[in-house]
Amino acid sequence: MMIRLIYASRAINLGPVDVKDILSSSRRNNHQLAVTGALSLSNGIFLQCLEGERSAVNAVYHHILKDKRHNKPEILSLEEITQRQFTGWNMGLIAATAENSALFLKYSSTSEFDPFTMSAPALKEFFAEVLSSARWLS
- What residues numbered 23-52 form the site for a second copy, per CB under 8 A? 31-34, 36, 52
98-107 vs 120-133: helix crossing angle, rounded to 10: 150
Whose Cβ is closer to a second copy: residue 13's or residue 82's?
A: 82
Instruction: Determine if 53 is a binding residue for ligand FMN (CB under 6 A).
Output: no
Instruction: Determine if 58 is a binding residue for a second copy (CB under 8 A).
Output: yes
- Evaluate the CA torsion angle 68, 35, 96, 123 in order and state its sign: negative
Q: Are 18 and 69 in contact (CB under 8 A)?
A: yes
Distance of CA 83 to the CA centre of its chain: 17
Rule CB under 8 A: which residues touch a second copy? Answer: 1-2, 5, 31-34, 36, 52-56, 58, 61-62, 65, 73-80, 82-84, 87-88, 102, 105-111, 116-117, 119-122, 125-126
